[in-house]
Structure 1
Amino acid sequence: MSAPGVPLGLWFGELSTEVWSAPDAGGAVDLALPVGSSMLAREVLRHAPPRPLEIEQAIEVVEEAVMPARAQLPEAIQLFCTDPLLHALAAAEPQADDPVWLSMEAVEQLFNRLVARAEGRPAPQDDLPVDAASAARLVIVREILHHWGLNGLYLAISQGAPHTTTNSALP
């Protein structure tokens, strides 16, 4: 599992990816990364499955958004996400009181499966969702974990709207 840190919510928007903390989480964080899953899907990951070059381009776009943002966050953080497409990618079934841990290794395995599908692995051999929206979320999460030095994130059940209101999915 992961070392404790400030719990941060992760939400995939159309034009940005939002990272925020609950008001009582020990430091206010409200950050909008300038890359959204819908924009990435529409402008870069145009095929299902995406083509290898599209995946490489998506990584570059996400890295440019994610890398400088790390300096704006507390040193120790722990991500939580309630996104249903990310749950489907991970084939996770979290319970309301029991979030599922998605390790960096598991994210890498999912990413490698996406790449294999992009390189021609037949669909009957792998049921991984490879639509552009799912692929965008996977690339964003992979790059966040890698460039922010995190070893995973928690997938929780959504118990509220994105951070525009208090999100009770954050501990």
Structure 2
Amino acid sequence: MTTCVSSGMRACTLCGLGSEYPRNMYSLDLTSAYETARTSAAPGELLVLMRINDESTELVHGTGLHPAVTLALQVGAVRVVREQFNGRFPGLLQLENAIATVEDEVTKPWLPPGQARELVLFDAGLHDNVAIERAHHDAPIAMALDEVERWFNRLVAVVAGSPPSQQGVPDDPEFAARLLIVREALHHLKISGLRLEGAVQAG
């Protein structure tokens, strides 16, 4: 019987040990979440974890027991809304400008190409919106890159004037910023899969 080292509970999905998610995992900081995930990862497997905060985006990665790299990228959900969207849901030009700004930041982390099978993202807002569509609210959500891209295309359609109810995407500026950040991170870090978790608290 395997027990999650962080919570003392069986079946921790972050650790890959089952289907129940221990909610007190959300009290860990990102480094601790990495160290917990490492306990069930294959030796030498590259782990990449990210959390989108208000003013910055934290990213840790490594292949050892502890993260080799810890970064604070200078793009966050509230910051993008304030500086790129002018405090409201963006238009097409604002979205294009935001893409360029986010690209400059997410290209900073260097990862060995093709070695990370997924990006683990702790983000309650994105998780909850995707979970509504999938009708499973507590479990981590696995998404391929092309599914993330379809969500982004639906966002672009709303930005261009399509009704949010028709696209199933909220016209919420922070949601737009968060989806933009994770989409650009996946593309530029060349990671083909995403695992959406809820919220892990700052340490």
Q: Normalized against structure 1, the TM-score is what?
A: 0.78
Distance 1:23 1:74, change over 3 A: closer
Give the share of equivalent positions with the same residue, in percent: 35
> 1:50: how far off?
1.8
State how far apart, in whole Å, the 2-side matches of 1:25 and 1:137 are. Answer: 29
How far does the alpha carbon of each residue in 1:11-37 deviate from its partner, in whole angstroms, 9 at most, with x for none?
A: 112221101248964642211112112
1:151 to 185, 192, 199: 192
> What stretches of structure 2 of length at least 5 have no aligned partner?
1-41
Query: Aligned partner of 2:78: which letter?
Result: S
Q: Normalized against structure 2, the TM-score is what?
A: 0.67
> 1:94: how far off?
5.6
Q: Give 1:36's aligned residue.
A: 76
Query: Aligned partner of 2:50: which letter?
Result: L
Distance 1:124 1:14, change over 3 A: closer
> 1:8: how far off?
2.5
Q: Give 2:165's aligned residue.
A: 124
Query: Aligned partner of 2:170: which letter?
Result: P
1:55 to 95, 99, 106: 95
1:1-171 to 2 correspondence within 5 Å?
5-21=45-61, 25=65, 27-46=67-86, 49-69=89-109, 71=110, 73-75=111-113, 76-77=115-116, 78-91=118-131, 93=136, 95=138, 99-158=140-199, 160-162=200-202, 164=203
State how far apart, in whole Å, the 1-side matches of 2:59 and 2:153 are. Answer: 25
SS at match of 1:68: coil
Aligned residues: 155
Query: Aligned partner of 2:90: which letter?
Result: P
Distance 1:27 1:122, change over 3 A: closer
State how far apart, in whole Å, the 2-side matches of 1:148 and 1:65 are. Answer: 11
User: Would you say the 8 A contact 1:6–1:25 is kept in 2?
Assistant: no
- Give the superposed CA RMSD: 2.5
How far does the alpha carbon of each residue in 1:99-143 deviate from its partner, in whole angstroms, 9 at most, with x for none?
A: 321211111111111111111112332331221111001110110
Distance 1:50 1:21, change over 3 A: same
State how far apart, in whole Å, the 1-side matches of 2:54 and 2:64 are. Answer: 27
